[in-house]
Every structure is written in C-alpha cells, then in structure tokens.
C-alpha cells in the first residue's frame, strides 16, 4: 500500500516537473518565433521547429488563433486537423497558458501539451505548443520505480539481517533470564545471572539476582532460626529436667523413709530448695529474655537521661555480698558527669550479670574492674576480670542461650546459662551490642557498647 501511494506521489511530482519544464521552454522560444511570425515565414518556422525538436526532444507546433497549424516539428502542417477545439488551445486563446494530457490522433500516443500565446500589441496573433509523449515519462518513471524497488529490496534485506541480530541480541538475555528463573524455581538461589548491556533487561537481571540473594539470605536465616529454636527447646528441656529430676528423686527418697533420719531429711530438703531456687532462676531469666525480645520487636521501653556512675554503683552494691564471700574486690572507674539516655534498670541488670559472671570465674583475692567511658560516639561499659579466661573457640558462641564453656562447673556455680544472653539482648534493645575479649589463663573483658547521643 505504501509503495502504491509513493509511486502515485512520485508520478504526480514528475508530471508537475515536466509541465514546469515545458512551460519554461515554450516561453523561452516564444520571443524567437514571434520575430518571424509577422509576416509568417512558414518555411523558417518549420525548420526552427524541427531543430528545436532535435535539441530538446519535444514536439513543437505553431498554430494560428483560427486553429490552423502553420508549423510542426514532426508532421506536415497542411495534413493536420484544425486545432481550435483542443483544450490547451481554447485555454490559451483566453489569455492563459494552456495545458492538457490526452491522446494524440496524429501521433497515436498519449501526450502532454503546453501552449503559450504569441502576442503583438497585446493581441494574440498565434500559439506555440510544445509537447512530449507520456511514454517517455513512463520510461523515466519505470527506471525510477526499478531503482526504488531495488533499493527497497536491499533495505528490506538489510533490515531483516539487522532485525535478526537485534532479535538474537534481545532473545539471548531473555533466554538467560528464563534459564536463571528455572534455577531459582528449583531452589538453586546461589546461581547468578550475567548482566546484559541492554538497560531494561540488565536492570531486570540485577533485580532477579537481588531477589535470589535476599531469598537465599532469608532461607539461611530461617534455617539458622530453626536450628536456634531446636537447640533452645532442647536446652530448656535439659535445663528444666535437671532440677525437676533432682527434686523428684529427693522427694521420693524422703517418702521412702529418709524422713526418719533428721540429718538426711534436712540435707535432702535443702537440696530440693536449692534446685527449686535454680528452677525459679531459669524461669525468671527466660521471662526476662522473652520480655526483652518483645520490647526489641515493638521498640517500646522507657528511657531517660541517667548518670552512669549511679547505675554502676547500684549494680556493685547488689554484687558486693557475693564478691566479699570470695574475697574479691570490686572497683570502678567512671567520670561523675557522664550521662546517657538509657533504661537504667535494664543496664543495671546487664552490669550485674557481667559482674556476677566475673566473680564466679575469678580466683580468691583477685579484683574485678568496672569501667565506663566514651569511645568514638559510643558509651562503652567494661567488666574486666583476672579469672581463668575463655578458650578462643568458645568466644563466638558465648552469648548464646544456655551455651556453657564448662557445663559441670557452670552448674556447680549456680549459673542458668542465660545471663550473657540477657546482656546481649539488653544491649540490642538500646541499639548497641555486647562484646567479649579473653585470653585463656589471663582473664576476660566483657563490654556493652551503646550509641551515645550528646
């Protein structure tokens, strides 16, 4: 359809060009002919028409206003019909430049005619008519059409080749995306798509890689959480079962006759009381952990600006009795003006847990130092002991619930296995973290790092 419209437009354009060219030529020869028109020199005019035909390849005819042909470049004027009724002649006699496209009975072919008037003293004394066969125009147009078709075919072939490469360039990344999606669907979230140069597909590939990485991380986290949950349940069951089994065993022993011995009965009742207290401590610490996790999740706990030295003194006071029983000296170092926005009761609990831990694992006559200071926009509270230290392989897990370096010794010293986990969670609800540094045989440094806002 586009070729049809294009050819019609081109044909009309070429017709207009030929018509303009014929008008220009007719006007150029009008002056030359008019000089030999009055009086009419038919022999000269016929010779002139033939020469013009040879030079310009157009038929030239000279006609009187009466329609009589007096000269023609191709035919004998005396044998030609009267031309007064020709459309181009009628229009010229009215004073305009005449034009017509029609069949010539004389030449037996389609022609384009242009006629211009010859004037003398503003009076039309004759008409010059030039014409070309349409067959000539058709031949020229045919050559142009063939060129257009040839160039169109070449362009089409080039377009097909380019389209093939473009399609290949586009389809290859899409195939890679499909291949990657299959990997992801099968659970291979470690697979990564190559990033193509095409902007849109490249962005999609990056998004899919990010999605796979996030899913992989989430699945890893879920597996880790599941393992933690499983370990937690196992640990809780074990930690609760131990005092319950002990209470049950000693109670059964008392029922079976140990009540008859006052010494044995008192010993067993004290053991039951100790195990009940241990059970109560475990439950209390579990509730504390649960509350801390809930507060961290909901970001709802009260804070106020507090003097850190007051919190440390309060924690030391709670641990003094136990420290004195082991002949362990508690010292602290903290600037009196140091303040921070904290939940003082929670931070006090965390410091108590660290001091209690340090006292348990320190030898008699040693000291425990509590130090608080600012370090790179952090409030750092350290509890430093000179105890037995912690083997390096245990340091990464020391803050896990129920994780014990020496299980037998820890239970003997009365620990629940939750104290350090509570310290970690208290640090986290404040937007900070807990840290440990230790050298086996030289002691440990447990520290709480909190973001400091002046």
Q: State the Cα–Cα distance between residues 107 and 133, nearest whole angstrom.
A: 9
pTM: 0.48
Interhelix angle 262-298/199-255, nearest 10 degrees:
160
Residue 433's pLDDT band, with cuts at 50, 70 and 90, is very high
Residue 382: predicted pLDDT:
92
Q: What's residue 7's pLDDT?
A: 62
Q: Is 443 helix (H, G, I), strand (E, B) or coil?
A: strand
Over residues 34-64, the pLDDT tens digits come to 776 777 788 888 888 888 888 888 888 889 9
96 and 208 co-located in one domain? no
The residue count for the chain: 454
Residues 325 and 421 in one domain: yes
Q: In a 3-state reduction of DSSP, which class is residue 108?
A: coil
Quickly tell me which residue has 């507090």 as its tokens.
306
Q: Vertex 289, ends 294 and 341: CA angle to 5°?
A: 70
In terms of domains, do 239 and 312 share one? no
100: three-class secondary structure by DSSP:
strand
Kindly state whether residues 287 and 312 are assigned to the same domain. Answer: no
Q: What is the CATH number of the domain that holds 437?
A: 3.30.565.10
What does the pLDDT look like over 381-422, one tens digit per residue? Answer: 999 998 888 888 888 888 887 777 665 555 555 566 777 888
CATH number of 56's domain: 3.30.450.20
Q: Is residue 176 part of a domain?
A: no
From the list 52, 45, 127, 33, the residue with the least C-alpha distance to 82 is: 127
Domain that holds residue 423: 302-451
Q: Is residue 158 part of a domain?
A: no
454 pLDDT higher than 70: no
Residues 106 and 213 in one domain: no
Residue 55 lies in a domain: yes
Q: What is the pLDDT of residue 3?
A: 55
Question: Measured between alpha carbons, how far is 112 from 130 in angstroms, rounded to an integer?
Answer: 8
Are residues 260 and 358 both part of a single domain? no
Q: Is residue 96 a part of any domain in this protein? A: yes
- Rounded to the nearest integer, the mean pLDDT of the chain is 80
Within 10 angstroms of residue 11's Cβ, the number of other Cβ atoms is 15
Total structural domains within the chain = 3
307 lies in the same domain as 400: yes
Q: Measured between alpha carbons, how far is residue 359 from residues 121, 318, 384, 387, 418 in Å?
A: 137, 12, 10, 8, 16
Do 305 and 340 touch, CB atoms closer than 8 A?
A: yes
Q: Residue 369's pLDDT is what?
A: 92
257 & 331 share domain:
no
Domain contains 98? yes
Confidence of residue 234 (pLDDT cuts 50, 70, 90): low
**Distance separating alpha carbons of residues 16 and 247, to the nearest angstrom:** 118
Domain co-membership, 306 together with 415:
yes
The pLDDT-based confidence of 371 (bands split at 50, 70, 90) is very high
Residues 288 and 313 grouped into a single domain: no
Angle of helix 42-56 versus helix 2-34 axis, rounded to 10: 150
> Is 161 inside any structural domain?
no
Looking at the structure, tell me whether residues 308 and 443 fall in a common domain: yes
Q: How many helices, marked H, and strands, marked E, lie in the chain?
A: 10, 12
Are 308 and 447 in the same domain?
yes
- Range in 72-76, 217-221, 279-283, 426-430 with the lowest mean pLDDT: 279-283
Is position 358 within any domain? yes
Q: What is the pLDDT averaged over residues 231-255? A: 73
DSSP codes of every residue in 238-286: HHHHHHHHHHHHHHHHHHTTGGGSHHHHHHHHHHHHHHHHHHHHHHHHH
Go through 160-197 and write b for each residue having 16 or more CB atoms within 10 A of its CB, e for each that does not.
Answer: eeeeeeeeeeeeebeebbeebeeebeeeebebebeebe
Closest CA to 208 of 244, 182, 227, 231: 182
Within-domain flag for 155: no
pLDDT given for residue 100 in this prediction: 87
pLDDT > 70: what percent of the chain?
A: 85
Q: What is the CATH number of the domain that holds 237?
A: 1.10.287.130
């Amino acid at each position: 359809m586009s070729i049809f419209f294009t050819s019609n437009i081109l044909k009309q354009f070429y017709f207009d060009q030929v018509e303009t060219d014929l008008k220009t030529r007719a006007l150029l020869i009008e002056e030359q002919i008019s000089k030999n028109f009055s009086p009419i020199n038919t022999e000269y005019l016929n010779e002139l028409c033939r020469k013009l035909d040879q030079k310009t390849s157009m038929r030239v005819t000279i006609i009187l206003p009466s329609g009589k042909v007096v000269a023609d470049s191709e035919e004998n004027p005396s044998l030609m019909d009267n031309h007064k009724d020709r459309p181009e002649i009628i229009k010229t006699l009215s004073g305009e430049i005449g034009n017509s496209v029609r069949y010539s009975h004389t030449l037996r072919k389609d022609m384009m005619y242009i006629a211009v008037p010859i004037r003398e003293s503003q009076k039309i004394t004759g008409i010059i008519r030039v014409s070309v066969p349409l067959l000539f125009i058709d031949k020229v147009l045919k050559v142009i059409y063939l060129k257009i078709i040839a160039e169109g075919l070449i362009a089409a072939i080039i377009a097909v080749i380019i389209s093939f490469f473009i399609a290949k360039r586009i389809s290859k990344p899409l195939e890679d995306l499909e291949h990657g999606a299959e990997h992801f669907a099968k659970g291979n979230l470690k697979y990564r798509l190559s990033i193509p140069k095409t902007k849109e597909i490249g962005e999609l590939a990056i998004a899919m890689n990010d999605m796979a990485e996030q899913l992989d991380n989430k699945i890893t986290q879920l597996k880790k959480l599941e393992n933690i949950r499983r370990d937690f349940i196992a640990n809780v069951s074990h930690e609760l079962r131990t005092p319950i089994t002990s209470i049950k065993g000693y109670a059964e022993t008392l029922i079976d006759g140990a009540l008859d011995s006052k010494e044995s009965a008192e010993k067993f009742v004290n053991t039951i009381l100790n195990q009940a207290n241990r059970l109560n401590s475990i439950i209390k610490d579990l509730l504390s952990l649960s509350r801390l996790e809930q507060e961290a999740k909901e970001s709802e706990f009260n804070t106020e600006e507090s003097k850190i030295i007051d919190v440390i003194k309060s924690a030391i006071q709670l641990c003094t009795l136990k420290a004195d029983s082991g002949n362990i000296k508690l010292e602290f170092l903290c600037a009196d003006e140091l303040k921070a926005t904290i939940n003082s009761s929670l931070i006090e609990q965390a410091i108590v847990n660290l001091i209690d831990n340090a006292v348990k694992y320190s030898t008699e006559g040693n000291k425990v130092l509590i130090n608080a200071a600012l370090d790179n926009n952090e409030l750092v509270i350290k509890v430093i002991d000179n105890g037995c230290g912690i083997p390096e392989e245990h340091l990464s897990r020391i803050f896990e619930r129920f994780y014990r370096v020496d299980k037998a010794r820890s239970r003997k010293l009365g620990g629940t296995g939750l104290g350090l986990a509570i310290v970690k969670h208290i640090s986290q609800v404040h937007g900070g973290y807990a840290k440990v540094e230790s050298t086996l045989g030289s002691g440990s440094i447990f520290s709480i790092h909190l973001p400091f806002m002046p």
